[in-house]
Structure 1
Amino acid sequence: MKILITPTSLCRDRDNPALEPLRAAGHELRFAETGRPLTAAELVGALPGVDGVIAGLDEYSAAVFDHASELKVIARYGVGVDNVDRDAAVAAGVVVTRTPGANAVAVAEMTIGLAFAAARGIPRLDAGVRAGQWPRGEGIELTGRSYGVVGFGAIGRLVADRARGLGMRVAAYDPLLPDAVFEAAGVDRADLDDLLSMSDVVSVHVPLLPETHHLLDARRLALLRAGAIVINTARGGLLDEAAALSALEAGRLHAVAIDVYDTEPPTASVLVGHPRVVSTPHSAGHTREAIARMAQGAVADVLTVLRGERSPNAVTP
């Protein structure tokens, strides 16, 4: 059977040991050549004759499934499935899986790293020294401040644990979880607006859905404490970038740190290049350890589904 592999990290490392079980099972591996996620039009041309995909952030619209008659499984290399039309996948008989928890530590550590980078202006200081300058920093300390975690799944809980370790007061918002989860983590539970009003730093860790699009809009950004930091390592559409820029320009925010954007690469982002914005290229989940776990999990899911078995990581019926 033919397996298409699209994540850029795996396409750069085609001999990754995690892919060996596919080869050992006799499957033919095909690799994307774009160096970026595939568009729906590109997938239409790439999927005929393909039985399974280890998928990055490619765009699986309904039209894609009309040109993928052999396709049986899309194994997401990561946790987000907002780029996959799951209704169309179900109608086409395609199983969609993901690798929950595989990159949770990586994303949580990056989130905290971005908090420090934004608080202290580390990228600006580094750029100044590289340019032969000797800039002065005007950063803020995180210890003793309040941290708001929006979305209290695996990543949100790890972020909360690390923020508490820094001596920060932590509260979290997640309407889908019982009180016991927050109590066990030692954090306060709060409604979203209340959470924002008490936060000096806030990070979002929720999926991008119609109801979460621009979850952090102008009204909610205005609720944050003066001089707050906003961090997004989840999905670009969660943060209203234009509203965040206005808050920065008005002096209401100390900084914004973003790893994800409305469009990627973010050629049209109004935030990239601002002196108080820290920008990274959707790389929060990319550590050696996380890449290995995601690849192993996605490969296992492909093999499971192609054997006609049910994957515990399936997000479709």
Structure 2
Amino acid sequence: MKIAVISPLFSRSIELMKELTTAFPDLKHNADNLLKTKADLIAFLQDADGAIVGREEIDDEILSACPKLKILSRYGVGLDNLDLESMKKRGLQLGWSGGTNSNSVAEITLSLMLSCIRNLHIATALLKQHVWKVNGGSELTGKTIGLFGFGNIAKRVVELLSPFHCKILVCNRTHDEAEAKKYGITYASKEQILAEADIISIHLPLTPESKNLFSTEEFKAMKKSAFIINTARGGIIDEEALKIALKTGEIAGAGLEAFLVEPTQDWELIDLPNLICTPHLGGNSKESILAMGYACIEHLKTFFSSQ
């Protein structure tokens, strides 16, 4: 069996590649991140029986050009980059484990919340410019947090917020009253959260329904003292509308982990002082990298051992 590792992050892990090579000696990797186009991906995948896929978009055109493929093992938790219908049509197996990076992303979410509300990002930037300006922001304790989506990551965020005694409002497609009681949350409408939340945190997949879910109208409905955090997917926040909201003080600030185009080159957005931003590293802790990778390998082992 030949395995193609598309994900550069997986390819660069000595531990994961050692484990994978032991199980599947015939493999190739993308440690140098050379797969830039759809044609590159097709050429890389054409002779593979299975593949480990990160955030790369795998659509019907690619799958149709690689009929030898039997399984895609997802290195990560989101599935919006895979054409699941095309995979199903072609009888292509999906290897996927939810929640493997939930703690890693939840910790980054909490970090962004604290950095925003305590003014740490602005204070740090000023001090690095040799400007001593004391503004400690507000305390996170007791604030109202609005969560959009309530999957594994959002649930872990709630657990991490427990010592801060926050009021947690959740906007989710489904309501589970047993879960609400377990986590101490209150289900609320989008409109209620926009009006009441001190911090809004996004934990949704990117779908046609969630694309630009937060735009001009939403920012106007938020408190001027509020912050918005996105550790989910780029495109859920309208970045052009966000720029205006941050420049005009429509909202106090934002923390972005994900961007519409990655790597982003929107330096006008990145350079705004009331934006704290990271290069989509939320699920990139050492522990998360290994957990996601070992899960990928197990999916491949399980599948091919049954062939």
Measure the CA separation in 2 of the matches of 1:127 and 1:37: 35
Contact (CA 8 Å) 1:74, 1:97: kept in 2 or not? yes
> Corresponding residue for 2:251?
253
Q: Alpha-carbon deviation of 1:85? A: 1.1
Which residue number in structure 1 is paired with residue 240 of structure 2? 242
1:131 to partner: Cα distance:
4.3
Tell me whether 1:211 sits opposite 2:182 in the alignment.
no
TM-score, L = length of structure 1 = 0.90
Q: Please say if residues 196 and 220 of structure 1, whose CA atoms lie closer than 8 Å, have aligned partners that are also in contact.
A: yes
Answer yes or no: is the 8 Å Cα contact 1:8–1:35 preserved in 2: yes
Identity score, percent = 28
Select between 189-198 and 76-85 the one with higher mean Cα deviation.
189-198
Q: Which residue of 2 aligns with 1:142?
A: 140
Pairwise CA distance, 1:183: 1.6
* Alignment counterpart, residue 174 of structure 1, candidates 172, 175, 199: 172
Within 5 A, what are the aligned runs for 1:1-317? 1-13=1-13, 15-16=14-15, 18-35=16-33, 38-137=36-135, 139-268=137-266, 270-308=268-306
Q: What do the CA deviations read for 1:239-283 (whole angstroms, capped 9, x no partner)?
A: 111111221122121111000000000113652111111110010
How far has the Cα of 1:35 moved from its partner? 3.2
Whether contact under 8 Å (2:231, 2:258) holds in the other structure is yes
Secondary structure, counterpart of 2:158 in structure 1: helix
Q: Is the 8 A contact 2:9 2:31 kept in 1?
A: no
- Alignment CA distance shift 1:68-1:174 (3 Å): same
The residue matched to 2:288 in structure 1 has which SS? helix
C-alpha distance after superposition, 1:144-197 (max 9, x if no partner) = 221011111111111122223213211111122322211211111112221221
Alpha-carbon RMSD: 2.0
SS at 2:146's partner residue? strand
Distance 1:269-1:122 versus aligned 2 partners, 3 A rule = same
C-alpha deviations, 1:34-63, integer Å up to 9, x for none?
438754332112111011111110111211
Q: How many residues are aligned here?
A: 307
Q: What secondary structure does 1:222 align onto?
A: helix
Gaps of 5+ in 1: 310-317
Contact 1:19 1:299 in 2 (8 A): no
- Which structure features the higher share of helix residues? 2
Opposite residue 262 of structure 1, the aligned amino acid is L
Name the CA distance, whole Å, in 2 between partners of 1:183 and 1:167: 15
- Of residues 128-137 and 160-169 in structure 1, the stretch that sits farther from structure 2 once superposed is 128-137
SS of the residue corresponding to residue 269 of structure 2 reads: coil
Q: How far apart, CA to CA, are the structure 1 residues paired with 2:265 and 2:106?
A: 26
